[in-house]
Amino acid sequence: EDQVTQSPEALRLQEGESSSLNCSYTVSGLRGLFWYRQDPGKGPEFLFTLYSAGEEKEKERLKATLTKKESFLHITAPKPEDSATYLCAVLRGSQGNLIFGKGTKLSVKP
Nearest to 21 by CA among 37, 1, 5, 6: 6
**Shortest approach of another protein to residue 7 CB, angstroms?**
13
Please report whether residue 101 would count as binding another protein according to CB under 8 A. yes
Distance CA 39, CA 1 (A): 29
87 binds another protein (CB under 8 A): yes
| Dist. CA 40–CA 34, nearest whole Å | 19
Site string for another protein, 29-68 (x = CB under 8 A): --xx-x-x----xxxxxx--x-------------------
Longest dimension (CA), the chain: 44
Asked whether 95 and 5 are in contact (CB, 8 A), the reply is no
Residue 79 or 102: the one with the smaller Cβ distance to another protein is 102
Closest separation in Å from C-beta 22 to another protein: 15
Positions touching another protein (CB under 8 A) are 4, 31-32, 34, 36, 41-46, 49, 87, 89, 91, 94-103
